Amino acid sequence: MPSPKLSLQTTTLWEYPSQHYGKKEQGSQKYRGATPSYILWNLLRRYTKEGDLVLDPFAGSGTTLDVAADLQRRALGFDLQPHHPDVQAADARHLPVEKGVVDFVFMDPPYGNNLRYSGRKECIGELSALEPEYYVALGQVFAEVDRVLRPQGVAALYVCDIWKKKNFVPLGAILSEMLARRFVPVDHIAVVRHNKDLEKGNYHKAAEEENFFLRGFNHLLLFQKPAAVKKAPQKGRKAQKKKRGPGRRKPGQK
């Protein structure tokens, strides 16, 4: 069965019709936590143009790279444990990228340690979202994004809230506030989830009996880096004195 036709989403409630578009996969559906390629296609169509440089610091199976290639965008993808031939091994907190050269950044980070990724000690996916170390690590990632993104470039964060061990963690709200310290908010989109666990009757039964909600949507947070501020040219001391006027007279001075 062919994938549905690609089309731009026009509201802040996004419903993607399938994980991939076209006759081939973008990234890999076998990779747990893979981003739906329809989401990347919509973002790159709206916020980039042909030839722009796109960066994904949590590139995983390379969905961002494949979509960027389809749309004639250049792309860089990094991950501690690459699952795509063009994804480079690097920590999202220390990107091997020059300052201010990226046009668009897409981030789909680990939502704490809800999934097992590389298993490496330095992996952000080994940190619990219930502990402050997780937010320190993502703060370092956001600082790197700020460094490599050009002025007026756009950054997108795709993230889901967590209900774990009877604790609700509003990741969308927390990370939005963190990003707002560096960037200007552009919009906040809710993306309907198609997690297969939502099809399991026992999950819904547990949600009813234990009085909690299953996660029905992901947050898609859009931010823009402010334009560079031009510094006013410094004036000489004579011009400054002239602007201030004669000044205050000393006692007895005419």
- Asked whether the predicted pLDDT for residue 115 surpasses 50, the reply is yes
Tokens of residue 138, six digits? 């993502």
Domains annotated on the chain, with CATH: 13-244 (3.40.50.150)
Spatial distance between the Cα atoms of 222 and 106, rounded to a whole number of angstroms: 9
CB 183 within 8 A of CB 155: yes
DSSP per residue, 17-49: SSSS-TTS-SS-TTSTTPPPHHHHHHHHHHH--
Spatial distance between the Cα atoms of 139 and 133, rounded to a whole number of angstroms: 10
146-183: per-residue pLDDT in tens?
A: 999 999 999 999 999 998 778 899 999 999 999 999 99
pLDDT score, position 106: 98
Going by C-beta distance under 8 Å and a sequence separation of 6 or more, which residues neighbour residue 116? 125
Sign of CA dihedral 33, 34, 37, 42: positive
Spatial distance between the Cα atoms of 188 and 176, rounded to a whole number of angstroms: 9
Q: Which residues of 64-80 are buried (b: 16+ CB within 10 A; e: fewer)?
A: bbbbbebbebbbbbbbb
81-112: per-residue pLDDT in tens?
A: 888 999 999 999 999 999 999 999 999 999 87
Backbone angles phi, psi at 225, to 5 degrees: -75, 130
Q: Cα 195–121–92 angle (5° rounding)?
A: 70
* Among the listed residues 100, 66, 94, 98, the one whose alpha carbon sits nearest the alpha carbon of residue 78: 94
